[in-house]
């Protein structure tokens, strides 16, 4: 297997495991995260619903026609609609049974960096109203300290009018070179699903060794609060203490490990 297919396989393994362990006949309202790993969540849901063929497996059936799927981005909405699943929104379903989402980096305490695809605002809303929030990721995402592996920076959604102010506020907060995220096939910055910009701010490993004048430290939780308070910031891609369980597809292409709250 090439390293690319090992990676893809580990995403698939984690996604399948989460769907198999947590979606059953009582599941009704399902939040669908965004990104490349979530594609396999939908794939497994379709297999479990008998809408897509599964390889050599007798799968426990899922009554997908009785489920409603809540998207976290344009991409996840398309996944839901294109596959003929029932689409809902947070205003119709203010409480969600379970949400499965990807992450850019996850630590041992189940804190995560998200927003590599600029979807973290809606992802956070959906996660927050979910009774169960589950993360699925490949082995490259696991780390001891957030910021060790995802070095492109914490994604921060900002109001366009405020981006220069937020850039300078982030420098004052200790980020040497925050970047306005630029689009690849469009001139200028990327625009989120909410019409905003994204700034990526790398503060180094968020290991708690730095003490700010206000008594905060550079822990994921303190950084989340401090960044969120900056004028112009809409949402920060730090998900603190939100996930109940994280599934990580291993590099061997066979096993899936999990990290569970309280274990
Ligand atoms: O904004 C994007 C989301 O937070 C994704 O869930 C995250 O970037 C992980 O994506 P992927 O599964 O493609 O690594």
From first to last of the 263 residues of the chain, give the pLDDT tens digit.
Answer: 678 899 999 999 999 999 999 999 999 999 999 999 999 999 999 999 999 998 877 889 999 999 999 999 999 999 999 999 999 999 999 999 999 999 999 999 999 999 999 999 999 999 999 999 999 999 999 999 999 999 999 999 999 999 999 999 999 999 999 999 999 999 999 999 999 999 999 999 999 999 999 999 999 999 999 999 999 999 999 999 999 999 999 999 889 999 998 88
- Tokens of residue 29, six digits: 């309202």
Kindly give the distance from the C-alpha atom of residue 247 to the centroid of ligand 1, in angstroms, as a whole number: 14
Does 55 participate in catalysis according to the annotation? no
Kindly give the distance from the C-alpha atom of residue 214 to the centroid of ligand 1, in angstroms, as a whole number: 32
Looking at this predicted complex, what is its ipTM? 0.99
Chain-centroid distance of CA 42 in Å reads 15
For the CA of 115, the closest atom of ligand 1 is 1
Is 70 in contact with 88 (CB distance < 8 Å)? yes
pLDDT in tens, 103-153: 999 999 999 999 999 999 999 999 999 999 999 999 999 999 999 999 999
Residue whose CA is at the smallest distance from ligand 1 atom 10: 35
Nearest Cα neighbor of 93 from 62, 72, 63, 115 is 72
Cα–Cα distance for residue pair 111/119, rounded to 1 Å: 17
Is 46 in contact with 83 (CB distance < 8 Å)? yes
**Catalytic residue, candidates 123, 142, 157, 235:** 123
Cα–Cα distance for residue pair 131/65, rounded to 1 Å: 21
Asked if residue 118 has its Cβ within 6 Å of ligand 1, the reply is yes
Answering whether pTM is above 0.90, one says yes
Cα–Cα distance for residue pair 160/177, rounded to 1 Å: 18
């Amino acid at each position: 297997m090439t390293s690319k297919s090992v990676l893809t396989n580990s995403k698939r393994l984690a996604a399948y495991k989460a769907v198999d362990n947590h979606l059953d006949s009582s599941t009704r309202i399902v939040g669908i995260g965004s990104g490349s790993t979530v594609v396999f969540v939908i794939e497994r849901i379709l297999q479990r619903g008998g809408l897509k063929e599964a390889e050599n497996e007798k799968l426990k059936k899922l009554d997908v026609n009785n489920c409603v799927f809540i998207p976290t981005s344009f991409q996840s909405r398309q996944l839901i609609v294109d596959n003929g699943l029932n689409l809902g929104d947070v205003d119709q379903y203010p409480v969600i049974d379970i949400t499965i989402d990807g992450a850019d980096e996850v630590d041992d305490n189940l804190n995560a960096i998200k927003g590599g695809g600029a979807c973290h605002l809606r992802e956070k809303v959906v996660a927050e109203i979910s009774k169960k929030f589950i993360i699925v990721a490949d082995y490259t995402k696991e780390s001891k300290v957030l910021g060790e592996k995802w070095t492109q920076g914490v994604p921060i959604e900002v109001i366009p009018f405020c981006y220069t102010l937020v850039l300078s506020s982030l420098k004052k907060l200790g980020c040497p070179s925050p970047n306005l995220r630029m689009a690849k096939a469009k001139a200028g910055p990327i625009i989120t699903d909410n019409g905003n910009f994204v700034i990526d701010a790398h503060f180094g490993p968020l290991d708690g060794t730095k003490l700010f004048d206000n008594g905060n430290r550079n822990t994921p939780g303190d950084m989340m609060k401090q960044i969120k308070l900056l004028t112009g910031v809409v949402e920060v891609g730090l998900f603190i203490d939100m996930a109940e369980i994280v599934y990580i597809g291993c590099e061997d292409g066979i096993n899936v490990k999990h990290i569970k709250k309280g274990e």
